[in-house]
Structure 1
Amino acid sequence: MLITERPGRLRIVRDGILDPTPVAGLPEILALNQGGLLDIAVHPRFEENSLIYFTYSQGTQEANGVAVGRGELRGSSLENVEVIFQAAPLKRGGQHFGSRMVWLPDDTLLVAIGDGGNPPVQLDGELIRLQAQNRGSHLGKIVRLNDDGSIPSDNPWQGDPNSDPAIWSYGHRNIQGLAIDSQRGHVWSTEHGARGGDELNRIEGGENYGWPLVTHSQEYTGGRISDRQSHPDMVDPDIVWTPAIAPSGLAVHGGDLFAGGLVSQSVHHIQLNESGEVIDQRAIAIASACAGCSGKS
């Protein structure tokens, strides 16, 4: 198993035993608040090319963003490491990096990028979260890349002068779960809302998922973020969690979804029908999973 540790360490577990020495060869990583070494994904043809992919925050406190790196895993080190994607524009602070990855059946890579942060964080004189609706920005998006970081020719806004060609979907806040249901061909995400309004979404290329123009979330300081919770040109979530569960990882098993909840301290079993529609959900309690902790993240 490959395990990322936020401060910037990549670890290997072999036969159930943790290698005491971190993997060598990672680039310089900015470990700032929610930022650091984030997700990791193995190339679908790893046995042929030894490639692993990792997302991380790089830059400074005043100018940082998510990058996607890749390298060849040789023993306990990474070789021929390169950055294949850098989210733009750069932002300030240490919030909302997103960063989850998943491979599609055609060996293209989806990467979720967070919206940049909560108020009062701004970019170009407006709240940075509005970047989620700006198709010229990677913030608040899922991007789709070829395995070398180039842009697939069939991305939804390829050729649109007002859109970045890497964008696959937009209107996202901070995706922390991303998984593919290979049985049905569906991509699913779990996404942090603000105060309540966490979401489960089925992701399709070319769609707008609403944030922050359409949301069930409330401001942390109180009051509505938006008067609209649905819009005909935007995709409604399949599940809204209020109060928030604070989604973490997302997995597909046996045709159903399993979503972690940081604040709820549980795994949520989401049952799907044959068409991939949500028909039921229940929280699987994890007793004594966090003895002595506050249950907040």
Structure 2
Amino acid sequence: MPVRTADAALAGVRRGVGAERLTGRTALVTGSSRGMGRAAAIRLAQEGALVAVHYNRDEAAAREVVTSVEKDGGRAFAVRGELGVDGDVDGLFAVLEEDLRERTGSTDLHILVNNAGVMGGVGADEVTPEQFDRIFAVNAKAPFFLIQRALRNMPDGGRIINISSGLTRFANPDEIAYAMSKGALEQLALHFAKALGPRRITINSVAPGITRNGNPVFDIPEVVEQMAGLSAFGRVGEPEDVADVVAFLATDEARWITGSFVDATGGTLLG
């Protein structure tokens, strides 16, 4: 059976356009200049949100996302900020608030998507303390303090979505530190959900599986076929597969879902 890169239903279809379930709301998607973050930013904009496209180094890629959103009639702007370093969150929000005020007359932030992350790709016996600290600084510490800071801007009924990983449920010895950091990230949803319930702010974890992310490995047909075989659907994930889940959790339809772990791995390693 040939391996498909996406379901036929996904091909050439702009989903969500016209629905505009997020009109009047603002969103910050970290690490959204490429991959799943890019797809999430575009998808939220299709739903009517004004989206802050966060990036660290690749300004051109972030500007391209903004252009793509605007071409489709949406609204977005780029905002730079390095995560995992001293002063990262305060510096990012100083710029974000200025941009939001200029565009909306307010600094309200309705949706936060913690997508930015770094992987290790190093065996457990080779991970250095510096690498370990960097992974946790970006993947776990930064999201914690982004949430803490965002809550000052987030009205009641807001949405927080953390992008975790299927590696918290199945093993890859070369990504132990990464999986540990994503496990810590998932705890934010569980415990913040309890604290934020009285404000009707939901917080959930979304765990992608093998998803196209620009890595050259996805250009090797035999490797893609092997990876596709791990999914119940016989294909690798597309960024839009995850973006659709993020968009749903950001809407009012997901108001009764909080503190949850959403498996978005395409049924990877079900047996």
TM tier relative to shorter chain:
0.3 to 0.5
Larger helix percent: 2
Higher RCO by CA contacts (8 Å cutoff, separation 6 or greater): 2
Q: TM-score, normalised by structure 1?
A: 0.32
Larger strand percent: 1
Q: TM-score, normalised by structure 2?
A: 0.34
